[in-house]
Amino acid sequence: MEIGTVMDLYYKEVFGIISDIYENEKARILQVARVVADQVKKDKLVYIWGPGGHSNLAAMEIFFRAGGLMHVSAILNQETMLTDGALKSMQVERLPGYGEIVVNDYGIGKDDLLIVVNAYGINSATIDAALTAKKNGATVVGICSFEHARNTPLDHVARHPSKKNLMDIVDYSIDCKVKVGDAVIEIPGFEQKVGALSTFANAFTLNCVVVEAINMLVNEGINPPVWRSGNCTGGDEWNNQFIQKFRGAVRCL
């Protein structure tokens, strides 16, 4: 394949998946945005966890983020992050019971809101986190690829023992449209596809939820605390107005 054309294909795929989400998931995004807005209106935190590997990037995407809600509390569990060992991260995300431990450690329960993001929507940490939060009385949002979950064999090693899919067990769900295997580009003469899309898909989906939630609140006469970049003039001064309110409440702050 001619040099430069693979990048062209990837460009089309990235914008293709974003367009797919925009055109087909808008109703679900607005529904979840309403749930987030209502949580902020009650001055309660919005917890988000991306159990395992690159799914953690989804949680980081809307946490402590310029233009993002200060009420977002990311669960940045080191055992499932690549920074503490990629192979270990994969094993932990497949470990039955681990998601329950993390959710209970954060005390997520009645009247709380947890967003669980995992492009595949099948692994044990993901399913246990959702099931535990629901059992504890929390509202749970799941963001995953419906196609990937439904087309993964029930006997796949990564699956939760229950064989459940994330979108089938949560209160609200959004389809991030990731194809099976995540990578999408085929290079002639090379057997493995390249070019993953899940990070783009999750980031776009979550930021749509956040900006719509903020807009809903503003329309209701509520000005929610929103982060300003500390790297721009006045950023620190703006953020410092709210820091003490969230210190201690948001564990990773």
Q: Is 195 left (phi over 0), alpha (psi -120 to 50) or beta?
A: left
- Determine the Cα–Cα distance for residues 160 and 127; give it in Å rounded to an integer: 7
Q: Amino acid identity of 131? A: L
Q: What is the mean pLDDT of residues 225-239?
A: 95
The DSSP symbol for 68 reads S
pLDDT tens digits for range 34-54: 999 999 999 999 999 999 889
| Cβ neighbours of residue 62 closer than 8 Å, sequence gap 6 or more | 48, 68, 69, 72, 74, 206, 207, 209, 210
Residue-wise DSSP of 148-194: HHHTS-TT-TTB-TT---HHHHSSEEEE--PPTTS--B--TT--S-B
Residue 171 pLDDT > 90: yes
pTM above 0.85, yes or no: yes
Strands 46-49 and 72-74, how do they pair? parallel
CATH number for the region 5-246 comes to 3.40.50.10490
| Amino acid of residue 189 | G
Residues 60-82: pLDDT tens digits?
999 999 999 999 999 999 899 98
Task: Give residue-wise pLDDT tens across range 124-147.
Answer: 999 999 999 999 999 999 999 999
Residue ranges per domain, the chain? 5-246
Work out whether the CA dihedral 164, 148, 98, 170 comes out positive or negative.
Answer: negative
Asked whether residue 58 carries a pLDDT value surpassing 90, the answer given is: yes
Q: pLDDT band for position 5 (50/70/90)?
A: very high
